[in-house]
Amino acid sequence: MLFDVIAAILAVVYTLRKLDAKRPSAQDYPAVAPERFAAWQRRELFALNLGSGACALKTLLGVFEYLYGPRIAAWAAPSGRVQWVYGVSALLFVSWLLALVIAFILARRARKEREVLGIQLHKAPSPAPG
């Protein structure tokens, strides 16, 4: 249950970061070639979509497990399929962790590229004229 709460929090964080990455446009950075800007934004959004999707799926599967876990256990116990159920559960958990690691690595690479290109997600507002 703890990992489901962590996954829900991470899904929100990844989604908020995704909204920040969608906000800038190539016109905001005339010094950056539009193709390079689009490539960076595509990579950044892919990494953030992977992270938020994996966390959202983990949260939904956690709710499913909470609601239907006793029924699945009751079905699996008499037929000797308990090890199979544990194996599937462990595989899903490890897949979630692997998706998080991959998303983190890809997002880190995109962040470094963003820094090289001089793109800032949180630009200071321009001063009012006069």
Tell me the pLDDT of the chain (130 aa) as tens digits: 889 999 999 999 999 999 999 988 888 888 889 999 999 999 999 999 999 999 999 999 989 888 888 888 888 888 878 788 888 889 999 999 999 999 999 999 999 999 999 888 876 544 545 4
Compute the residue count for the chain.
Answer: 130
- Domains of the chain, by residue range, sit at 2-117
Do 121 and 20 meet the contact criterion of CB atoms below 8 Å apart? yes
Global confidence as pTM: 0.82
Nearest to 11 by CA among 43, 57, 45: 57
